[in-house]
A and B are shown apart, each in its own frame.
Chain A
Amino acid sequence: MPRLGLRHGPRPGPAKPQYRKNAELTHLSTDILVVGSGGAGMYAAVAAARAGARVLLADKSLIGRGGATIMAQMTVASAIGEEAPDHWTHHLADTLEAGRGLCDEVLAAVLCEESPLRIREMEAWKVGWAREGNHIKQVTAPGHQIPRCVYVDFLNTGPAVAKTLRGQVARGDGITRISGLAVTDLVVRDGRVVGATALDLESGAPVTVAAKAVVLAAGGLTRIYRRNSASVNMGGDAYALALRAGAELIDMEFVQFFPIGHLAPRLVGMDPIMWDPFRYKLGGRLLNGQMDEFIENYGASDSGTYTAPRDVTSYAIVKEAAAGRGSPAGGAYLSFEHVPESELRTAFGPVIDRLRDNGIDLTARPIEVAPIAHYHMGGIRVDERMQTCVPGLYAAGEAVGGANGANRLSGNAIPEALVFGERAGRFAADTVRRATQGWEDGAAEAALDTLRRVTGRPADGAASPALGELMTELQALMWDDVGLLRDEEKLTGALTRLRAMQRDDLPALAPGGGAFSLAAQDWFDLRASLLCAEAVTRAALERRESRGAHQREDFPETDPAQAENRILRLKNGDLMLESVPVRRAPVAIEQPRALEAAS
């Protein structure tokens, strides 16, 4: 059975009485604290536990239910070669091509080489990858030269992956799971991460956790955009925790806007990304408001297929709408009217009925789609052991930056979660074998003071609209001024406002605590989101070119001299930016086209 150290009761030591008076503090200790329980966090927990470490897996939502993994609709890229001959270096070539010259090629190589190991392991754990005949079915996703993407029918990849990993986590000796535990700060002592402070949502009480290593697997930041496909807990927690602990972020200017997020009519109970698999299986036609195909005018081809890269398609849809050629709701039409009903049914079975319940008949009329913030290419800078520059601190999944460069290849998000999660857990376990606990109460005091200030009085509804308004303002600001089409003036204005929101607006709010104070969680979410928004804006301002998902209207061309990564770190409260050369691949890459020609 897992064993955690425990201390209950009032804490000794120097105190600020106004916050300390009735403070009860629960203190836990573990070898490895994993923050976030999507695909990356759960895999990290499983890998660390099987390497002999004691793991505490914490999530502010329910274990294995929040985060992005569970929302994955379909594609998981993996060079398992069941549909067509393939090799991981071909997957790497496609990943680097999509990344527009900025991929950390070492991380990208790790992702591609180990994806088949994780896909096979998931298969052994009975995830149920879709099969055809006696082999696992693989489809061609945009940017891949060959059919490489596995999936679980129907639109069930994410739920199946999450359920499989929940099962493995529950069976893992040495893993203690805690739902509703929101980590608010990492605790750093002598330059090393030694644990964390957290808020127990059920009781509203602060918790401290001593850990020899921490794995940040709390996902990305797309919730900071007005139109997003994120879950509510993807406001950039991992990045903010890492920055404040002294770690570096990389490529923060690169936010992926998924081009064909659902726009209209209103569709409930389905992920806005769901048209992606429809296009994989059925093609579909993307049309402007005049019912004309238009992607060809932007240098890519798309008609009836689904091959145009995500960054080009997003840009084209926004430009068409800006030119007055958008659909009524301001996006583009996506039409499957030419596809017979029987073919729709074969491809998507019960999903067709769920659409009908939403009043959508694909044989009768097109739906409307538009770009939606979907994924963050940037993130925490790690080495191939998933270790940050801060001893004891690891990262995994979308929280990691660099592997996908300026634009993520379709199907790389789930393998990134599984591969980086497994590695973070394994290497963190390796480290803690030789480490001792470095916890000291005093190192957590500043973080606990903040927790007590924010939660220190009963929740107050009358005082709280400002919290929601601030989040709404942030999302609008990021969408309008730091979104798909950027320029110096908009970015500079956004940066000024974001700094003021952090300096003046957020500290003035004290939402109050008690049992399940969602407003207290909002406060900490906002603190993280505002810092992440500043990081994205700062990096976007300083990249004076257009590349991949980062499009500057005042610098429309790609500048070969800027084929370098931008690193951000926090120094005395200010974000410092530095350029570093791109890490190049450790292997010779065989081009997949050569393989296609040979086969």
Chain B
Amino acid sequence: MSDMPATATIRVQRGVAGEAPRFEAFEVPYREGMSVLDALMWIRANRDSSLAIRYSCINANACKECMVEVDGKTQYACTARLGTAGVTVGPLGNKRLLRDLVTDIVPPKETLANALDDIER
């Protein structure tokens, strides 16, 4: 069925801290060589903008913000490839969960809480 548009299924962990994590499956159009981040951005643009992921530079692997677990392995979403077999994506397991794929990776000296502590000392 070569004239069928190719798709891949990506399972994404959803939920905020304190909720039981649940997985949601999205079928995304597949292009050879595409990254996991490409798929997540497609979901946000076309299916569900409430999906949370942290990223900035999109494709350059310069900002180093998009680290997630792809099939259980820690990877940058912008360099992890998506195959037609699909993948399961979750947040970093060793960091505090904020929402969906976003964990607290902010350096301790750069948080609002730290700025407030600074004042209260």
A residues near B (Cβ < 8 Å) are: 1-6, 26, 28, 56, 61-63, 65-67, 70-71, 158-159, 170, 176-181, 200, 202-203, 207, 230-233, 265-272, 358-359, 459-461, 464-469, 471-472, 511-512, 514-519, 522
Contact = CB atoms under 8 A, between A and B. Distances in A.
15 contacts: A61-B65, A62-B110, A63-B107, A66-B63, A170-B109, A178-B110, A179-B107, A180-B106, A232-B56, A269-B35, A469-B46, A514-B99, A516-B99, A518-B50, A518-B102
Contacts of B106: 62, 179-180, 202
Main secondary structure of the interface of A (DSSP, over half): loop
A178 B109 CA distance: 8
A274 to B, nearest CB: 8
B120 interface: yes
B99 to A, nearest CB: 4
Contacts of B56: 61-62, 65-67, 231-233
Given A516-B102, A519-B49, A272 B112 contact: no
B57 A70 contact: yes
Contact of B119 (A3, A200, A469): A3
Contacts of A515: 16-17, 98-99
A468 B81 contact: no
B48 to A, nearest CB: 5
Contacts of B107: 62-63, 179
B112 A178 contact: yes
A176 B50 contact: no
B101 to A, nearest CB: 10
Contacts of B60: 70-71, 269-271
A268 B79 contact: yes
A6 B116 contact: yes
A286 B53 CA distance: 38
Contacts of B105: 62
A1 B78 contact: no
B76 to A, nearest CB: 7
Nearest to B105: A62
Nearest to B100: A516
Interface residues of B, number: 51
A44 to B, nearest CB: 17
B58 A359 contact: no
A207 B113 CA distance: 12
A2 B118 contact: yes
A514 B121 CA distance: 28
Contacts of A158: 62
Contacts of A459: 50
B6 interface: no
A159 B48 CA distance: 32
Chain A to chain B: the 8 pairs with minimum beta-carbon distance, closest first:
A266-B33, A269-B79, A271-B60, A468-B45, A464-B49, A269-B61, A66-B56, A461-B50
Contact of B63 (A70, A181, A466, A471): A70
Most buried by B among A4, A266, A269, A272: A269
B118 A231 contact: no
Contacts of A26: 112, 116
Contact of B81 (A1, A159, A268, A271): A268
A468 B119 contact: no
A490 B82 CA distance: 37
A231 B58 contact: yes
Given A231-B56, A269-B59, A270-B60, A3 B118 contact: yes
A442 B56 CA distance: 34
Contacts of A460: 50
B62 A271 contact: yes
A193 B27 CA distance: 47
B52 A178 contact: no
Contacts of A514: 16, 99
